[in-house]
Amino acid sequence: MKSKAELSEEIRKLLKERNAIMLAHNYQRDEVQELADISGDSLGLSQSAAESDAEVIVFCGVHFMAESAAILAPEKTVILPRMDAGCPMADMITGEQLRAEKEKRPNVPVVAYVNTTAEVKAYSDICCTSANALKVAESVDSDEVYMVPDRNLAQYTARFTDKKISWWDGYCPTHENLTAADVKKAKEENPSALFMCHPECSPEVIDMADHVCSTSGMYKYAKESEAKSFIIGTEMGILYRLRKDNPDKEFILPSQKLICPNMKLITLEDVLQSLKEMKNIVTVPEDIRKKSLVALNKMLKVPRD
């Protein structure tokens, strides 16, 4: 078996040879984040994929993220090192189900969280991520908005807008694993810690938070805050960079269930193998790509926090 250093060296060499760039989501395994050229949240990585000059994008994340890169940059080859790395929340609504919902409310624009398939994006008016959901909802020229697939992100957005927000009843199984009792216990054990969480958490958990934001928003908040300890309400992969960037601060995970199995599938061996063989290439049929691109591009024009 090759060592981490050997694998990393081979991957770096191949990335160069293939004019490739390696992107990693903030929930990826530590060693994958460490080697990546860029790590970030869904929105930041989509933007990096679109702006990069590389010919090949090795997307270490889950399927919808690689698909977004393929939609935004069709001239590039997008590799997802493990094709089985999906997002259960994205799979909670199909294009057909969304089409049926739209028939029930013909004049209500659809805001699709990027955690959706390309087909669902194609049926939507505009996309959003956890970093810009409120701004996106506000940007839509309508008093009413239908959000898919995350009920928690939709209900959180509804707290800050006068628009009528309705939603599909999807959710992230990983974030819903975090209970209000877990947070209460962590707060009791760490009374001076601030609690920050992702908007995919349940409303009861969000009610207990000092700060609610995307994964990249958490890095910013931890860095800028004067607090010395933080309880983290999101997938545990985020701890790698939080701890690396803030060695003087403490980060507490309130539940060991905050793990997304799909985000942990990609290993350095998978990255190397897929690059070597140029396999696991994500493509989107051109008719769906063109329609979903409209929704993604509209989102990218909305300023982020």
C-alpha to C-alpha distance for 144 and 218, rounded to whole angstroms: 29
Pairing outcome for strands 38-40 and 20-25? parallel
- Candidates 84-92, 121-129, 222-230, 280-288: pick the segment binding ligand SF4 (CB under 6 A): 84-92
Residue 129 binding target from ligand 13P, ligand SF4, none, CB below 5 to 8 Å by type: ligand 13P
- Candidates 83-91, 100-108, 151-159, 220-228: pick the segment binding ligand SF4 (CB under 6 A): 83-91
Asked, as a colleague might, if the bond just before 149 is cis with ω within 30 of 0, I would say yes
52 versus 262: smaller Cβ distance to ligand 13P: 262
Quick one: CA torsion of 122, 113, 87, 178, rounded to 10 degrees? Answer: -160
Residue 136 binding target from ligand SF4, ligand 13P, none, CB below 5 to 8 Å by type: none
Tell whether residue 117 is a contact of ligand 13P (CB under 6 A).
no
Degrees (nearest 5) of the Cα angle 235, 239, 244? 155
Tell whether residue 41 is a contact of ligand 13P (CB under 6 A).
yes
- Read off φ and ψ for residue 79, nearest 5 degrees: -105, 130
C-alpha to C-alpha distance for 39 and 45, rounded to whole angstroms: 7
In Å, what is the CA distance from 82 to each residue of 60, 65, 212, 298? 8, 13, 30, 29
Tell whether residue 130 is a contact of ligand 13P (CB under 6 A).
yes
Binding mask 7-26 for ligand 13P (x = CB under 6 A): -------------------x
Tell whether residue 33 is a contact of ligand 13P (CB under 6 A).
no
Q: From the list 115, 129, 214, 215, which residue makes contact with ligand SF4 (rule: CB under 6 A)?
A: 115
Binding mask 171-190 for ligand SF4 (x = CB under 6 A): -xxxx---------------
Q: From the list 242, 263, 275, 284, which residue makes contact with ligand SF4 (rule: CB under 6 A)?
A: 263
* CA proximity to 39, closest of 244, 273, 305: 244
15 versus 118: smaller Cβ distance to ligand SF4: 118
36 versus 172: smaller Cβ distance to ligand 13P: 172
28 versus 280: smaller Cβ distance to ligand SF4: 28
Q: Which residue is nearest to ligand 13P (CB)?
A: 41
Pairing outcome for strands 164-167 and 56-60? unpaired
C-alpha to C-alpha distance for 43 and 34, rounded to whole angstroms: 20
Residue 262 binding target from ligand 13P, ligand SF4, none, CB below 5 to 8 Å by type: ligand SF4
C-alpha to C-alpha distance for 36 and 268, rounded to whole angstroms: 10
Q: From the list 14, 60, 87, 206, which residue makes contact with ligand SF4 (rule: CB under 6 A)?
A: 87
Binding mask 25-64 for ligand SF4 (x = CB under 6 A): -------------------------------------x--
Binding interface with ligand 13P (CB under 6 A): 26, 41-42, 115, 129-130, 172, 198, 200, 214-215
